[in-house]
Amino acid sequence: MYIQKGEAVIMANGISPAAIRALREKTGAGILDCKAALTEAGGDEEKAIEVLRKKGQATATKKAGRVAAEGLVDSYIHAGGKIGVLVEVNCETDFVARGEEFRTFVHDLAMHITAAEPRYGTKEEVPADVIEKEREIALEQARSDPKNANKPEQVLEKIVEGRIAKFYQETCLMEQAYVKDQNITVGDLVRQMIAKTGENVKVRRFTRFKMGEGLEKRSSDLGAEVKELLGGGE
DSSP string, 213-232: TT-------HHHHHHHHTT-
Q: What is the pLDDT of residue 177?
A: 96
Q: Are 87 and 110 in contact (CB under 8 A)?
A: yes
Mean pLDDT of all residues in the chain?
84
pLDDT band at 8 (very low <50, low <70, confident <90, very high): very low
Q: Output the CATH code of domain 2-63.
A: 1.10.8.10
Coil/strand/helix, residue 69: coil
Mean local confidence (pLDDT), 185-198: 91
pLDDT band at 124 (very low <50, low <70, confident <90, very high): very high
pLDDT band at 204 (very low <50, low <70, confident <90, very high): very high
Cβ-Cβ contacts under 8 Å for 45 (sequence gap 6 or more): 19, 22, 23, 26, 38
Mean local confidence (pLDDT), 32-48: 88
pLDDT band at 6 (very low <50, low <70, confident <90, very high): very low
Mean local confidence (pLDDT), 96-113: 96
Mean local confidence (pLDDT), 34-42: 89
More confident residue, 25 or 133: 133
pLDDT band at 68 (very low <50, low <70, confident <90, very high): confident
More confident residue, 109 or 18: 109
Which of 127, 114, 161, 126 minimizes the C-alpha distance to 142?
A: 161
Which of 113, 43, 40 minimizes the C-alpha distance to 74?
A: 113
* Residue boundaries of the structural domains of the chain: 2-63, 70-123+172-210, 127-170
Q: What is the pLDDT of residue 75?
A: 96
Q: How far apart are CA 106 and CA 71, in angstroms?
A: 9
Q: Output the CATH code of domain 70-123+172-210.
A: 3.30.479.20
- Alpha-carbon dihedral angle through residues 91, 95, 96, 102, given to the nearest 10 degrees: 120
pLDDT band at 92 (very low <50, low <70, confident <90, very high): very high
Q: What is the pLDDT of residue 162?
A: 94
Q: What is the pLDDT of residue 12?
A: 41
Mean local confidence (pLDDT), 89-115: 95
Burial code of 106-135, b = ≥16 C-beta within 10 A, e = fewer? bbbbbbbbbebebebbebeebeeeeeeebb
In the predicted model, is pLDDT for residue 36 greater than 50?
A: yes
